[in-house]
Chain A
């Protein structure tokens, strides 16, 4: 109920800013969309891995929360509507959204085949979608690791969301730590490759994001996604405590939201308030539409 209220309020703010300054509102909306898409697809990845391995921590622990996030994936198509006009390729965008919706809907029905066949499909479609929607904002820039970067951040945020929704078996905390380290590794590798190559069309992208206020933003992202989670989740006893897990989970989500801004917004300018409204609208919309986590027994 509260989520619906937040959503309605933020949507009104967003729509009014869209009327005043369509370009700003659109880019803010895109950043929020990046956050929501990557997080939802991160949850889909987690669900597929869990269903494929049928691990106890997933089937008897994380499953309801994870799959209630997955169930919102078809709604991404609805959220995409405002972006449809300026999408670089509407046809490809529709294909991506259709693939994800199909995977999300088919997963509960045929868990193992959908997971096994779907994981590579998801990896490729997410990579190309992130190229089309986000990397294309800087037409000269390309990075083959970009899709993995978007995915790894989203996976981390999805784990954080599952931990918050569910409380968690310790396996999730371990995955959270792994995802945090993996994201840091990908982020560092991308930065190193661009920096060491020193090719102007690539460094321009990094320069726009490594100077001024955006340098502070990426620093905060690194702190939230890696520097704080690492020492918190390393000790044997700490990673088993829910408060510690919750702190890391919140940081992961906040960090990923900032990360989405850092990826998208430097390309165009958008007022901070509009961005906040966009994030609030999209995130609360999905959260409100999320079906109640079912705790029913799993048919084996």
Chain B
């Protein structure tokens, strides 16, 4: 869409009229209602007046019936010798309730029809547009009308939808929706984190319980990645060897970080280990933010290797 600025109300009206004659849309923005703009446009939302009319009639009839029922039928009172059913005296309430219903319908209907309240419109991004409510005159129309706009004496023309797209990312703050230029090619075995739906991989769950086998291929690079991550994030508490013999653990005498080499931990299904990393365990917090899904499985795989390596009977040590 294009937004064109004009010198004054007459120029704006003239342009709007010409554009509409040529079949272009023309939306005007001016600090005051343009006198003959009203004549140019057919009523934009013809259903609303009918709705308002119906609301008026309903409101008025209801109010009259209520007055009649209360004053003339249910509890007639002699007020100054007037008959209980006095239409002349019922007029104000009837009228006012009709107006109330009509006014509320107008406001609600108008807001609904215009899809208001809206905090932002693309036009707002155009510089100086805020003065459309002070002393400037704008007209929005189709891109193809740009030549016509110049001929009609536009002071300035801005393509505002384009601008809005550039600036308008602010409206949508979901990171996944944003275009990120220059993303590196992901590694070959990368598992896209935002697309994992398999609960075995994403949550370490299978049927009613935890998975017993690591659900992604265990490779040497995965184990090396796991060692790296383990030593960064886990070793501080659980020890480089996973035996829980650390300064941190000594200071947490009441509830030590456990040794990961215990029989109990060895028997845990891999899914449970994974879950401890993803969601935390006891005092341990979740490491989901630090370790993406693939890294969690890498750590689990390395931990299994560690557990094996730390409990090999002396007679079964493999000669190098």
Contacts and interface: CB of A to CB of B under 8 A. Distances in A.
Given A188-B91, A191-B88, A236-B49, A196 B80 contact: yes
Interface residues of B, number: 10
A188 B95 CA distance: 12
A196 B82 CA distance: 8
A237 to B, nearest CB: 8
Contacts of B80: 196, 198
Contacts of A191: 88
B49 to A, nearest CB: 7
Contacts of B43: 236
B82 to A, nearest CB: 7
Interface in B64-105: 80-82, 88-89, 91
Contacts of A170: 39
Contacts of B82: 196, 198
A226 to B, nearest CB: 13
B269 to A, nearest CB: 74
Given A198-B80, A198-B81, A236-B49, A192 B91 contact: yes
B35 A195 contact: no
Contacts of A195: 88-89
Nearest to A231: B53
Contacts of A188: 88, 91
The range of chain A's interface size is: 10 to 19
Nearest to B53: A234
A235 B48 CA distance: 12
Given A236-B43, A236-B49, A192 B88 contact: yes
A189 to B, nearest CB: 9
Nearest to B80: A198
A210 to B, nearest CB: 11
A196 B35 contact: no
Nearest to A170: B39
A196 B91 CA distance: 13
A92 interface: no
Nearest to A236: B43
A1 to B, nearest CB: 37
Interface string A33-44: 000000000000
Contacts of A235: 49
B39 A192 contact: no
A126 B91 CA distance: 29
A56 B35 CA distance: 9
Interface in A216-244: 235-236, 240
A191 B91 CA distance: 12
Interface string B10-45: 000000000000000000000000010001000100
Nearest to A198: B80
Contacts of B49: 235-236
A240 B41 CA distance: 13
Contacts of A56: 35
A201 B200 CA distance: 97
Interface in A49-69: 56
A33 to B, nearest CB: 30
Interface string A178-190: 0000000000100
A235 B49 CA distance: 9
Nearest to B36: A56
Nearest to A171: B35
A170 B39 CA distance: 9
B83 to A, nearest CB: 11
B209 to A, nearest CB: 70
A240 B39 CA distance: 9
A240 B80 CA distance: 47
Contacts of A196: 80, 82, 88-89
A289 to B, nearest CB: 34
B242 to A, nearest CB: 81
Contacts of B39: 170, 240
Contacts of B91: 188, 192
A192 B89 contact: yes
A16 to B, nearest CB: 43
Nearest to A195: B88
Given A196-B89, A198-B80, A240-B39, 10 more contacts: A191-B88, A192-B88, A192-B89, A192-B91, A195-B88, A196-B82, A198-B81, A198-B82, A236-B43, A236-B49
6 contacts: A56-B35, A188-B88, A191-B88, A196-B80, A198-B81, A236-B43
What 4 A-B pairs are tightest by C-beta distance, nearest first?
Answer: A236-B43, A192-B88, A195-B88, A188-B91
